[in-house]
Amino acid sequence: MATDCDVRPLEILGARPMDFGTSMRSHTDNGPWPQALAVCSSLFEADGRVRAGVLDTIDTARADLRIWGASQPVELAGRCQSTVYELSFAARAFKRRAFAAAGLAPETMTTAETFLVVGSATVGGGPSAAV
């Protein structure tokens, strides 16, 4: 996460946003690690640290990984698949609140999300982080 951004929309959605540098410095092989990670594809492409962290996460299968955004990074070709998730009514309500907190127009909200998925298809129970 950028240090100057508003994290309320992500927190409304249940994510625990983390600064990438702090997250990586606190990580140890035996220490806690999120069960799921969500990464923006444009950040993956723009920041070598994020790219290295994502590729390491894929190689070690330490967490379920979701990548969202308009582009599919070349480095992930053949290592992930596209999936569409239809939001439940409860998820739509949370997303509407997140949109409002972010100052986004509610009519731009979609009821389905498309992600590139790496790892197992099911996430639940453990902590998650968004980068």
pLDDT in tens, 116-128: 887 544 444 444 4
Give pLDDT, residue 122: 41
Using one digit for the tens of pLDDT, what is the confidence trace for 21-53? 666 666 666 666 677 788 888 889 998 988 988
The residue ranges of every structural domain in the chain are 8-26+34-119
Assess whether pLDDT exceeds 90 at residue 89.
Answer: yes
Only one residue has tokens 């998820």, namely 91
List own/partner pairs for 55-64 with CB under 8 A and 24 or more apart.
57/118, 58/118, 58/119, 61/119, 62/33, 63/33, 63/34, 63/35, 63/36, 63/37, 63/119, 64/35, 64/36, 64/37, 64/117, 64/118, 64/119, 64/120, 64/122, 64/123
Mean pLDDT throughout 81-89? 91
**For residue 129, which of 22, 7, 38 has the smallest C-alpha distance?**
38
Name the average pLDDT for the chain.
78
